[in-house]
Amino acid sequence: MLHIHPVPAFRDNYIWVIHNQSNAVVVDPGDATPVIEFLTHNQLQLKAILITHHHSDHTGGVAQLCRWREVPVYGPATETIATVTHPLCETGQINIPELPLYLTVLDIPGHTLGHIAYYRREPFNMVFCGDTLFSCGCGRIFEGTPQQMYQSLQKLAQLPDDTLIYCTHEYTLGNVAFARTIDPDNNDLMDFERKAQQLRQQNTPTIPTALKQERAINPFLRCEQSAIIASAQQHAGKPLPDPIAVFTVLREWKNRF
């Protein structure tokens, strides 16, 4: 049986450790120290490292971890990451038999041009999506275009309803505050906000979140819905011709929120 444990790092990062109580895979280790402490304390053998994109808060601990344990490092083929030994792109596959763990790679550019996600289908659906889809939000667009980010989010939104979303930042309450501004009459959103506040008061992560829930509360996944369109058009002061235009306004609005 697999366990997924969030190792907190920096101010709001989560480094994900996937393990079976004997062997482990680490996702986006921006800092090696808390990962080594967790693996050592739990007597876990590191078998692989997965990277979603090149930003230092996702890669900064990889070199130290590889000095501690020499393991394969998987990451995006189109980004320059010196520590990656196994470059991957869309439909690439990873098999870690010691867990066992079988993953399929999805290209999800936008936050960075080469950003990838790792999707596991069986026995339950989960996706490690880095800084693309957050709970009730999405990542900033640093290198890609709004169209690329919108299409990447739509790709993730097509996964099964029960897919668990493992993103890498605890941004949920801030994202909810923005979503409430756009969609103030959304009862699902209000219910989720109360639950998220309770979790954070207990210092408990709000991640993972289920995709079905995100489809109900996340404005960036709902750019074709009337309430979201109306708020975006009011903010822009003009009609918006399509969902990508709505998404572009929302993302720029969130940048200054």
Mean pLDDT of 70-89: 97
Task: Decide if pLDDT at 123 tops 90.
Answer: no
Q: Which CATH number does the domain housing residue 35 bear?
A: 3.60.15.10
**Global pTM?**
0.97
Question: Domain containing 43: what range?
Answer: 1-91
The number of distinct structural domains making up the chain is: 1
User: Measured between alpha carbons, how far is 242 from 37 in angstroms, rounded to an integer?
Assistant: 49
Q: Confidence class of residue 1 from pLDDT cuts 50, 70 and 90?
A: confident
Query: Phi/psi of residue 79, each to 5°?
Result: -120, 150
Q: Kindly state the tokens that stand for 83.
A: 């520590």
Query: Is residue 255 assigned to a domain?
Result: no
Query: Is residue 235 assigned to a domain?
Result: no
Yes or no: say if 52 and 116 are a contact pair by the CB < 8 Å rule: yes
Q: Confidence class of residue 242 from pLDDT cuts 50, 70 and 90?
A: very high
Q: What letter does residue 242 receive in the DSSP assignment?
A: S
Task: Decide if pLDDT at 138 tops 90.
Answer: yes
Amino acid present at 147: Q
Q: Kindly state the tokens that stand for 96.
A: 């870690």
User: Measured between alpha carbons, how far is 44 from 75 in angstroms, rounded to an integer?
Assistant: 22
Chain segment 172-202, per-residue pLDDT in tens: 999 999 999 999 999 999 999 999 999 999 9
Query: Is residue 245 assigned to a domain?
Result: no
Query: Is residue 113 assigned to a domain?
Result: no
